[in-house]
């Protein structure tokens, strides 16, 4: 799968999301088929926003909007990850470099598996990793 397709319009890396990494009822990511997504993902106001002119929120005149600021604050506080910082990196570095940097940032130090942003645990070996 094209890894850039796992980066949501808000800057979330779906590849590190608990819903994407789980085995049962796995979410395919924001840009993929909607049939296995939760209601909250299906009704995401950020994804459905019509003010955005490009693929990411930074292409919007109201960037960062209140909805994105709220989401960013929650993720910075609870998970040590910023959607707005991600979007700035995508804008400045390009999507390919951002994806490459994300793979390195969220790789388990023991096995190289992916760290779950919501649990700080490697999805492969279960080791606790703090990013």
pLDDT, tens digit, 9 for 90 and up, residues 41-62: 778 889 889 888 899 999 999 9
Do 96 and 45 touch, CB atoms closer than 8 A? no
Report the pLDDT value the prediction gives residue 25, as an integer from 0 to 100: 81
The pTM for the full model equals 0.91
Per-residue pLDDT tens for 70-100?
Answer: 999 999 999 999 999 999 999 999 999 999 9
Does residue 41 sit within a domain?
yes
Does residue 78 sit within a domain?
yes
Do 52 and 4 touch, CB atoms closer than 8 A? no
Report the pLDDT value the prediction gives residue 103, as an integer from 0 to 100: 95
In the chain, how many domains are there? 1
Cα–Cα distance between 64 and 84 in angstroms, integer?
A: 8
Does residue 19 sit within a domain?
yes
Task: Give the domain range for residue 52.
Answer: 3-122
Indicate whether 31 pLDDT > 90. no
Does residue 17 sit within a domain?
yes
Q: What is the mean pLDDT of residues 121-128?
A: 94
Compute CA distances 96 → 29, 59, 68, 101, 124, whole Å: 17, 18, 23, 9, 24
> 122 by DSSP, 3-state: which?
strand
């Amino acid at each position: 799968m094209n890894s850039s397709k796992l980066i949501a319009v808000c800057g979330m890396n779906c590849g590190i999301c608990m819903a994407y990494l789980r085995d049962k009822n796995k979410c395919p990511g924001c840009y993929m088929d909607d049939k296995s997504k939760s209601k909250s993902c299906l009704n995401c106001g950020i994804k459905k926003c019509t003010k955005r002119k490009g693929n990411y929120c930074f292409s919007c005149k109201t960037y960062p909007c209140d909805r994105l600021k709220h989401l960013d604050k929650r993720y910075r506080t609870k998970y040590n990850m910023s959607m707005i910082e991600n979007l700035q990196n995508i804008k400045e570095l390009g999507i390919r470099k951002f994806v490459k940097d994300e793979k390195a940032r969220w790789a388990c130090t023991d096995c190289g598996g992916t760290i779950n942003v919501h649990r700080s645990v490697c999805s492969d070996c279960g080791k606790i990793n703090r990013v």
